[in-house]
Amino acid sequence: KQVGIDVGVADLAILSNGLKYPSFDSSYFEKKAKVWQRKYARRRHLAKLLVLQDRNKKVLCPRSLESFTNWQKAQKSKAKYQAKAANQRRDYLHKLTTHLVKQYDVIAIEDLKTKNLQKNHHLAKSIANASWRMFRQMLEYKCEWYGKKLIAVDPKNTSRICSKCGYNSGAKPLEIREWTCSKCQTKHDRDINAA
């Protein structure tokens, strides 16, 4: 059994047979971590001010930053929520990649350069949250474990070339999600065609 996988932001994996797997939603833990980040920054700032006041007043036993435990508690809470989000994302990717490797014998995936794609500041956070690199690494070593084959495809012109007749229809803006080949009249979904 063969399958092609196209990775995306809204859907993590779009298979060539039309199946879509959504991206991991870490919004709950991200909100919690953001709240604790604010608390941590505020508490640390106040502790620094009190340390400076003690220094300026030339107090006999000036307090150090480590003597304030409130900001340290906030830092631990923030780290806890960030770790939970990371662990759940990793667990989701493990389950998805194991499912794909057990179902298919040959898997083709785009060889994307995520570092270059993250230079777009509007999409950088979404791309980082999707964890394309981790997804690809997991597929690679699990294919070796199970004796399956993983093929990395050059992403150049994957959404331009017709998968049926090979006609290159030229560049298309991002808002065009579906297109029809002018030679063989085959309908293509931009994401599935790439796979």
pLDDT computed for residue 25 by the predictor? 82
Cα dihedral sign for 79, 82, 88, 90?
Answer: negative
Judge whether 138 lies within some domain: yes
pLDDT digits (tens, 9 = 90+) for 69-101: 999 999 999 999 999 988 988 998 899 889 988
- Is residue 187 a part of any domain in this protein? no
Instruction: Give the type of residue at 151.
Output: I
The pTM assigned to this predicted structure is 0.70
Percent of the chain at pLDDT > 90 equals 21
* Most distant CA atoms of the chain, gap in Å: 87
The least confident of 25-39, 124-138, 163-177 is 163-177
Domain region containing 22: 2-155
Do 56 and 43 contact (CB within 8 A), yes or no? no
Whether 183 is covered by a domain: the verdict is no
Catalytic residue ranges = 6, 110, 191
Taking the C-alpha atoms of residue 180 and residue 144, their distance in angstroms, rounded to an integer, is 37
Find the distance separating the first CA and the last CA of the chain, reported in whole Å. 15
In a domain, 188, yes or no: no
- Whether residue 36 lies inside any domain: the answer is yes
Question: Is residue 195's pLDDT more than 60?
Answer: no
55 part of a folded domain: yes
Domains of the chain: total: 1
Tell me what the mean pLDDT of segment 130-135 comes to: 78
113 pLDDT tier (thresholds 50, 70, 90): low
Asked if residue 179 belongs to a domain, the reply is no
The CA-atom distances, in angstroms, between 46 and each of 34, 43, 63, 66, 138 are 19, 5, 13, 13, 44
Is 112 inside any structural domain?
yes
